[in-house]
Amino acid sequence: MQTKRVVITGVGAVSAFGRTWDDIRARFAAGENAVRYIAAWESYPELETKLGAPIADYAPPAHWTRKQLRSMGPLAQYCTDAAEQALEQAGLLNDPLIRDGRMGVAAGSSSGSTADVLDIGLMLAHQPNNFSANTYVRMMPHTTAANVAIFFGLTGRLIPTSSACTSGSQGIGYAYEAIKFGKIPMMLAGGADQLCPSEVFVFDTLYAASRRNGEAALTPRPYDAARDGLVLGEGGCMMVLEELEHARARGAEIIAEIVGYGANCDGSHITRPEEATMRRCIELALEDADLPPDAIGYVSGHGTATEHGDIAETRATAAVFGHVPISSQKSYLGHTLGACGALESWFAIEMMRDGQFFPTLNLDNPDPRCGDADYIAGSPRAINTEYVMNNNFAFGGVNTSLIFKRWTE
The residue from 196, 335, 340, 370 that is catalytic is: 335
Are 221 and 227 in contact, with CB atoms under 8 Å apart? Answer: yes
The residue from 79, 142, 281, 302 that is catalytic is: 302
β partners of residue 192:
236
Is 269 an annotated catalytic residue?
Answer: no
Is 165 an annotated catalytic residue?
Answer: yes
Is 126 an annotated catalytic residue?
Answer: no
Please give the single-letter amino acid code of residue 108. G
The residue from 79, 142, 165, 340 that is catalytic is: 165
Instruction: Find, among 325, 282, 308, the residue nearest to 367 by Cα.
Output: 308
Distance of CA 84 to the CA centre of its chain: 17
User: Annotated catalytic sites, by residue?
Assistant: 165, 302, 335
